[in-house]
Amino acid sequence: MSVIYIVVPLALLVVGAAVAAFVWATNRGQFDDLDTPAVRMLHDDEQRRPPTGP
């Protein structure tokens, strides 16, 4: 059972990574507009230019 001493901190590390990823995504604006992307994915993107982000 002493494996718990290793597994639980490991799980906490994973959770920490997930939280960090979420915070990163939020601050990058991934959740700013929740309505348009839902619509946008319905369109085929054959005409789209390659991304030229800043």
Partner 1 sequence: MQATERAALAPPAGARAEAPSEVTCTHCGLPVPSGLVEPGAPHQFCCTGCQAAYEILHEHGLDQYYRLGAPRGASVSPTGRAYEEFDHEAFQKLYIRPLPGGRAQVDLYLEGVHCASCVWLVERVPLLLPGVARAELEIRRSLARVEWDPATVPLSRVARMLDSLGYPPHPFRGVQREAIRRREDRAMLVRIGVAGAIAGNIMLAAFALYAGWGGRMEHQWQLFFRWLSLLLVTPALFWPGRIFFSGAWSALRTRTLHMDVPVALGLAVGYTQGAINTIRDSGPIYFDGLALLIFLLLVGRYLQQRGQRAAADGAELLYSLTPSSARVIEPGGATRMVPAEALLPDMEFEVRPGETLAADGVITAGRSQLDTALLTGESRPVSAGVGAGVFAGTVNLSSPILVRVERAGESSRVARLLQQVEESGRRRAPVVQTANRMAAWFVAVVLALAAITFVIWELRDPSRAVDNAIALLIVTCPCALALSTPLAVSVAIGRAARAGIFIKGGDALETLARPGRLLLDKTGTVTAGQTALVHWEGPDWVKPLVLALEAESTHPIAAGFRTAWPGVAAPPAGRTVHALGGGISGWVQGRSVVVGAPAFVRARADGESPAVTLPSDLTPVLVAVDGTIVAAAGLGDPVRPDAARSIAALRSRGWDVALLSGDAPMVVASVGRALGLADEACTGGAAPEDKLRVVEAARRDTRRAVVMVGDGVNDAGAIAAASVGVGVHGGAEACLATADVYLTRPGLAPLVELVRGAERTMRVIRRNLAFSLLYNIVGAGLAMAGVLDPLIAALMMPASSLTVVMSSWRARTFEGGGA
What is the contact surface with partner 1 in residues (CB under 8 A)?
1, 4-5, 8, 11-12, 15, 18-19, 22-23, 26-27, 29, 31-33, 35-36, 39-40, 42-44, 47-49, 52, 54
* Nearest-approach distance from CB 46 to partner 1, in angstroms: 8
CA dihedral 53, 45, 38, 34 (to 10 degrees): 10
Least CB distance to partner 1 at residue 19 (A): 5
The whole-angstrom separation of Cα 21 and Cα 24 is 5
